[in-house]
A and B are shown apart, each in its own frame.
Chain A
Amino acid sequence: MSDFDKVIDASKPLAIPIPRMAAAERFFRSTARAATPYIMVAPAILTLCVFVVYPILYMIWLSAFRWDMIGPKIYVGLGNFLDLFSNQDFYVVMGNTFMFVFFSVSISIVLALLLAIYLKAKTKINALLQGFVFTPYVISMVSVAFIWVWLMNSEYGLLNYMLGKAGVSGVRWLEDSRVAMYSMILVAVWKGVGYNVIILISAMHAIPNQLYEAAILDNTKPLKMFFRITLPMISPTLFFLTLMNIIASFKVFDQVALMTRGGPVNATNTLVFDIYQFGFKFYQLGYASAEGVVLMAVIAICTVAYFGALSRRVHYGAEI
């Protein structure tokens, strides 16, 4: 082979030895790369599983048993649900819950909207008033409950005292089964409305002022200004806020436990308080779990229905 041939040969790919990884090492490296994201999210997923997914599954499983926390679990299939749906009290509890959710959320949202419109102007007095309406939200429910139990006491409560001064006969706020639920709603609204007001005010402040100026030049009347500009522009916030209010109201417990313990005659007994009663006072954990499953289903159905009904009317995209 001459030197000339060697030059020709050089046009072929050079056989420079590239260090090769062992097959096992290559496999290990590619697997490690693929696994990295899963390892990263593992702690969060694990926590979620232990504290959310497992309890839910356990609750569903438990609803198929009769169990008093001490003795053995007795499998009853759908027996707890049959008991539940044949129990007249359960329908009262469900009615109470829906009533509480509907009135406390709708009153709170409408009232918050009105207050937000009134308080959105940036003045010193409004800053103070915003603080006032927000205060109940930061007070502990225990304090709120005791304040209102005292205020609403039919014998020596301040409300009846003032009604008496005005010449109106006293109301048995928490003792009359026809009134008690409305009293509970009143307290829930009083406590929760401030939060909604603050959130709605900040949503209103995010609306560009030029939109209102354009609307003024378009001869828009104040009421139309609210319904065609303010309301659509805050709709994402309003939508989210209402949903959160609904879910929170379905789960009301502390207020009932502290103020009325479900009474009088079940008039203020709501689903979560009922679950507590059956689970931890009557030790019927299977029955309580069945109620829990119902609560979960109801919240899920309400949320889906709410999304279906309203989400298309919500305007997303703040850009103008």
Chain B
Amino acid sequence: MTGIELRGVEKAYGGNKPVIENLDVQIEEGSFTILLGPSGCGKSTILRMIAGLEKETAGEIFINGIDMRGVSPGAREIAMVFQNYALYPTMTVKENIEFGLKNIKVPKPEREARVGEVIEMVGLTEYMNRKPQHLSGGQRQRVALARAIVKKPKVFLMDEPLSNLDAKLRAQIRTDLIELHRNLGATFVYVTHDQVEAMSMGTDIVLLESGRIRQQGAPESIYSAPKNLFSAQFIGSPPMNIIKAENLEHGGASLPPGTVSLGFRPEKVIVSGEGRAPERGQISFRGELVAREILGDHAIYKFKTAFGCIHTKTMSGSTVEYGKWSVRVDAKYLYYFDEKGDVIK
């Protein structure tokens, strides 16, 4: 069943050109949906329209089948976690969490029980009576989560909630969020520009560019079957290598008709000694290793070739020394793109 549905939604500020035009999105109930895209693609605006903090210029938004037109943000059975947490600085941790419950007049015994349970869940029992300014970034983040959880919403909206945390904490809260999503069974809508967050947490990714959906699907399908150059290059770290086809033609390679560029993932590249002839069904580039990043379990190399730079990623094995090499990739791992940037099947 559809949890959230946007039909023909448009958003314009003032008399300007709309930032979002005729957008249709379907978000499955109980999914962990990521709105992913570069800054300025409208992902936060979409989230804020779902929350009701911003009004759509045209179109309709449904949450669990109910038209949200005229429904106030507080009545939408949603909870939101902000990038800067937006904790009430004058209230203690406990007061922050119970504020929303007090406003809808939840009886005191129930309120106490719910608040106590949630504070324990996020592990802040001993910080209950502290003000947010006396908490670390990670603790504030957990208060913000607790404030959302305690309302028992059907939908959690999160606007880049991890971007103010350091890398280690981010990785930790990422797994916490996955666990939380599994435990609560609620719909999570999560805005980020970080494809690692998207791939690691999402059950469904909506990839956006300039207010339009470029691809929507499970992380693995977006990774293995990108529909266009944009998703090919947005997902994956480092992104997909793209080679202009016109350069290749001279090498006598046979490409599907209409191919303008082709791509392959750095993970699929094999590095071998220079001058080694490609095997059947492979293409090969001669190049020079110009940079390498040794990251323990894997390494990333940058080769300069006649066709442009090629990144490769190897999971194990000996370190490749600086010098001239031949990089090869199996034809079955190649993606072909037409002049509009769409993938050719």
Candidates B74, B85, B133; contact of A317 at CB < 8 Å = B133
Would you call A214 and B86 a contact (CB within 8 A)?
Answer: yes
A267 within 8 A of B: no
Would you call A320 and B53 a contact (CB within 8 A)?
Answer: no
B236 within 8 A of A: no
Would you call B53 and A213 a contact (CB within 8 A)?
Answer: yes
Q: Kindly state the separation between the CA atoms of A317 and B89 in the bound complex, as whole angstroms.
A: 8
Residues in B with CB closer than 8 Å to A216 are 53, 72-74
A210 within 8 A of B: yes
The A interface, classified by DSSP as helix, strand, loop or mixed, is: helix
Closest CB in chain A relative to B86 CB, distance in Å: 4
Would you call B100 and A218 a contact (CB within 8 A)?
Answer: yes
Residue among B51, B82, B85, B132 with the highest chain A CB neighbour number at 10 A: B82
Candidates B74, B82, B91; contact of A210 at CB < 8 Å = B82
Indicate whether A214 sits within 8 Å of B80 (C-beta atoms), given known contacts A224-B103, A315-B89: yes
> Which residue of chain B is the closest to A216 with respect to CB atoms?
B73
Count residues on chain B whose CB falls below 8 Å from chain A CBs.
26
Indicate whether A320 sits within 8 Å of B132 (C-beta atoms), given known contacts A217-B73, A217-B74, A219-B103: yes
B230 within 8 A of A: no
Q: Kindly state the separation between the CA atoms of A233 and B88 in the bound complex, as whole angstroms.
A: 9
Q: Kindly state the separation between the CA atoms of A318 and B131 in the bound complex, as whole angstroms.
A: 12
Indicate whether A217 sits within 8 Å of B132 (C-beta atoms), given known contacts A233-B89, A320-B86: no
Candidates A228, A235, A317; contact of B88 at CB < 8 Å = A228
B residues 314-331 near A (Cβ < 8 Å) are: none
A232 within 8 A of B: yes
Would you call A214 and B88 a contact (CB within 8 A)?
Answer: yes
B residues 68-92 near A (Cβ < 8 Å) are: 72-75, 78-80, 82, 84-91
Closest CB in chain A relative to B141 CB, distance in Å: 13
Would you call A319 and B89 a contact (CB within 8 A)?
Answer: yes
Closest CB in chain A relative to B90 CB, distance in Å: 4
Residues in A with CB closer than 8 Å to B74 are 216-220
Would you call B89 and A320 a contact (CB within 8 A)?
Answer: yes
Residue among A208, A216, A218, A315 with the highest chain B CB neighbour number at 10 A: A218
Residues in A with CB closer than 8 Å to B100 are 217-219
A229 within 8 A of B: yes
B99 within 8 A of A: yes
Would you call B78 and A221 a contact (CB within 8 A)?
Answer: no
Would you call A319 and B133 a contact (CB within 8 A)?
Answer: yes
Candidates A217, A220, A232; contact of B90 at CB < 8 Å = A232
Give the interface size bracket for A toward B.
20 to 34
B104 within 8 A of A: yes
Q: Kindly state the separation between the CA atoms of A224 and B100 in the bound complex, as whole angstroms.
A: 12
Candidates A208, A217, A220, A229; contact of B79 at CB < 8 Å = A217
A211 within 8 A of B: yes
Q: Kindly state the separation between the CA atoms of A208 and B87 in the bound complex, as whole angstroms.
A: 10
Q: Mask for A219-239, Cβ within 8 A of B = 1, else 0?
A: 111001000110011010000
A-B contact count (CB 8 A): 73
Residues in B with CB closer than 8 Å to A315 are 89-90
Residues in B with CB closer than 8 Å to A320 are 84-87, 89, 132
Q: Kindly state the separation between the CA atoms of A15 and B90 in the bound complex, as whole angstroms.
A: 67
Residues in A with CB closer than 8 Å to B86 are 208, 210-211, 213-214, 320
Q: Kindly state the separation between the CA atoms of A10 and B103 in the bound complex, as whole angstroms.
A: 85
Would you call A219 and B82 a contact (CB within 8 A)?
Answer: no
Would you call B99 and A218 a contact (CB within 8 A)?
Answer: yes
> Which residue of chain A is the closest to B78 with respect to CB atoms?
A217
Q: Kindly state the separation between the CA atoms of A221 and B85 in the bound complex, as whole angstroms.
A: 21
> Which residue of chain B is the closest to A209 with respect to CB atoms?
B86
Q: Kindly state the separation between the CA atoms of A111 and B221 in the bound complex, as whole angstroms.
A: 62
Would you call A210 and B84 a contact (CB within 8 A)?
Answer: yes
Q: Kindly state the separation between the CA atoms of A217 and B101 in the bound complex, as whole angstroms.
A: 11
Residues in A with CB closer than 8 Å to B90 are 228-229, 232-233, 235, 315
Q: Kindly state the separation between the CA atoms of A318 and B104 in the bound complex, as whole angstroms.
A: 28
Residue among A213, A217, A319 with the highest chain B CB neighbour number at 10 A: A217
Q: Kindly state the separation between the CA atoms of A97 and B87 in the bound complex, as whole angstroms.
A: 43
Residues in B with CB closer than 8 Å to A229 are 88, 90
Residues in B with CB closer than 8 Å to A218 are 74, 99-100, 103, 147
Q: Mask for B207-221, Cβ within 8 A of A = 1, else 0?
A: 000000000000000
Closest CB in chain B relative to A122 CB, distance in Å: 14
Closest CB in chain B relative to A313 CB, distance in Å: 10
Closest CB in chain B relative to A97 CB, distance in Å: 35
> Which residue of chain B is the closest to A232 with respect to CB atoms?
B90
Closest CB in chain A relative to B107 CB, distance in Å: 16
Residues in B with CB closer than 8 Å to A214 are 80, 82, 86-88, 147
Q: Kindly state the separation between the CA atoms of A221 and B74 in the bound complex, as whole angstroms.
A: 10
Would you call B103 and A221 a contact (CB within 8 A)?
Answer: yes
Q: Kindly state the separation between the CA atoms of A122 and B317 in the bound complex, as whole angstroms.
A: 62
B residues 261-280 near A (Cβ < 8 Å) are: none
Residues in A with CB closer than 8 Å to B87 are 214, 320
Residues in B with CB closer than 8 Å to A217 are 51, 53, 73-74, 78-80, 100
> Which residue of chain A is the closest to B140 with respect to CB atoms?
A320
A residues 223-259 near B (Cβ < 8 Å) are: 224, 228-229, 232-233, 235
29 contacts between A and B (CB under 8 A): A210-B86, A211-B88, A214-B87, A214-B88, A215-B88, A215-B99, A216-B72, A216-B73, A217-B51, A217-B73, A218-B74, A218-B100, A218-B147, A219-B74, A219-B75, A219-B103, A220-B74, A220-B99, A220-B103, A224-B103, A228-B90, A232-B89, A235-B90, A315-B90, A317-B89, A317-B133, A319-B133, A320-B86, A320-B87
Binding site for B on A (CB under 8 A): 208, 210-211, 213-221, 224, 228-229, 232-233, 235, 315, 317-320
Q: Which 5 A-B pairs have the closest CB atoms?
A: A219-B74, A218-B100, A232-B90, A210-B86, A214-B86
7 additional contacts (CB under 8 A) given A210-B86, A235-B90, A315-B90: A210-B82, A215-B88, A215-B99, A217-B53, A218-B103, A219-B104, A228-B99
